[in-house]
Amino acid sequence: MFSTEMMYHEMGISREVYEYCEKIWTSLKERWEEIDRLSEYNQIKVIGAMQKNKVSEACLYGTTGYGYNDLGRETLEKVYADIFHTEDALVRPQITCGTHALALALFSNLRPGDELLSPVGKPYDTLEEVIGIRPSKGSLKEYGISYQQVDLLPDGGFDYENIRKAINTKTRLVTIQRSKGYQTRPTLSVNRIKELIAFIKGIKPDVICMVDNCYGEFTERQEPSDVGADLVAGSLIKNPGGGLAPIGGYLAGKKECIENAAFRLTSPGLGKEVGATLHALGAFYQGLFLAPSVTANALKSAIFAANLYESLGFAVVPDGRESRHDIIQAVTFGNPKGVIAFCEGIQQAAPVDGYVTPEPWDMPGYDAPVIMAAGAFVSGSSIELSADGPIKPPYAVYFQGGLTWQHGKLGIMKTLQKLVEKEIIMRDFDKRNL
């Protein structure tokens, strides 16, 4: 009968890699208990919202055509509003991705002559063309909406003095990116977001504070909408879809903000009343039900990766001991070979397309070649085991996901194996004192 170690060996994991990784994860059992308690809290929150809104079997069937009187769609949006403690929500398969959800929030709540402010530095790469930082057809800039940015301080703190200076009569909406994107800055905790929003509202109470919540859902007991955010947005093929949602995005927030978004998504005069859900609702509901547990597994995988690569001398953000506020783990290699080898290891652990080799390519919306590894059941689903990064300095890879902790563990072990085989990490790495 095969032992677990023998099974890993069959998957191409050497004894040295297996034993080193076992020492790392064995030291993390107290963290696992903490994450399980968080998952339990959020699981009860989700079930409570579903029961409160009387989710029934009829809610699991979709609609076609115009999608009028879609009970499941309307109920799901009430469930999301209750989970995020907001007045309303928009949860639709017609929202194609996280960038689309954010663009929808921005275009629907800004008007020509308004100004958008980012007080947390550069937004995620794909938003640069949405805003017009990089010229693009149909950007906010083309519609006469200006943009200001205040970078974080070198220590990752908020530059309150320059944020105060940046807020003016034209400032209509403030966008706060919770996760790090393709940067090695700290992810913002809900408490830090609370402090920032309170400061901004103290200067201009009527400004809309929007949070890009991608990768952050269910990583804490509170969401940004619990601490003053007027609007939060994200993707269903990340945390809240639980690995089952085949497409979609969500916005949750003040009723007026959601109404504006609905009119932008469909048409003025139609708003939330139309939009067929086809066969997606069952996966939306079940994915949301699983989301707290799936997110917990992704957190465990990220913490394991952080501790492993930190022990090998690489710069990691967050580090192995920090509290977690999203599922992303950054590892800086300082050269493209390390990024590419890491992604190859993740791909080799995939249940789908595990035999292919990822390569950097010029992806739409990015200013440098990007390598992405993901053998996913849902194309591009970054809550499933995945890793990606731009091929440019500082040559950091961004790892996230893992529907199960066991898969996440295998993926990280494969990355180490690949780095050893390519001699990016010396073969005597297992002689280190842990």
Q: The domain that contains 327 carries what CATH number? A: 3.90.1150.60
- The pLDDT value recorded for residue 375 is 87
Which amino acid, one-letter code, is at 313?
G
Same domain, 168 and 274: yes
Q: What's the total number of domains in the chain?
A: 2
Same domain, 73 and 213: yes
H/E run at residue 409: helix 405-421
Q: What is the pLDDT of residues 314-329, one digit of tens each?
A: 999 999 999 999 999 9
- The pLDDT value recorded for residue 365 is 74
Same domain, 250 and 344: no
Q: Which CATH number goes with the domain that contains 217?
A: 3.40.640.10
Q: Nearest CA to 236 among 176, 186, 275, 286?
A: 286
Which amino acid, one-letter code, is at 177?
Q
Q: Is 52 exposed, middle or buried (0-12, 13-18, 19+ CB in 10 A)?
A: exposed
Same domain, 129 and 215: yes
- The pLDDT value recorded for residue 433 is 55
> What pTM, to 2 d.p., does this model score?
0.95
Of the residues 288, 317, 334, which one is the last residue of a structural domain? 288
Longest CA–CA separation in the chain, Å:
72
Of the residues 243, 273, 288, which one is the last residue of a structural domain? 288
Contact 382, 234 (CB under 8 A): no
Same domain, 249 and 221: yes
Same domain, 124 and 156: yes
39: tokens are 């998952």
The CA distance from 179 to 188, in Å, is 6
Beta bridge partners of 396: 332
Host domain of residue 416: 4-42+294-431
Contact 76, 298 (CB under 8 A): no
- The pLDDT value recorded for residue 364 is 79
Q: Are strands 396-400 and 386-390 parallel, antiparallel or unpaired?
A: antiparallel
Which amino acid, one-letter code, is at 418?
K
- The pLDDT value recorded for residue 363 is 82
Same domain, 284 and 302: no
Same domain, 10 and 111: no
Same domain, 100 and 211: yes
Q: What is the pLDDT of residues 102-126, one digit of tens each?
A: 999 999 999 999 999 999 999 988 8
Collapsing DSSP states into helix, strand and coil, what is residue 27? Answer: coil
Of the residues 264, 288, 312, which one is the last residue of a structural domain? 288
- The pLDDT value recorded for residue 366 is 79
Which amino acid, one-letter code, is at 280?
A
The CA distance from 367 to 345, in Å, is 25
What phi-psi label fits residue 376: left (phi over 0), alpha (psi between -120 and 50 degrees) or beta? beta
Same domain, 52 and 30: no
Contact 94, 264 (CB under 8 A): no
The helix-helix angle for 255-265 and 98-109 (nearest 10°) equals: 110
Same domain, 55 and 181: yes
Which amino acid, one-letter code, is at 410?
L
Query: Helix and strand tally (H, E) in the chain?
Result: 12, 12
Residues of the chain where predicted confidence (pLDDT) is lower than 50: none
The helix-helix angle for 405-421 and 281-311 (nearest 10°) equals: 40
Same domain, 134 and 10: no
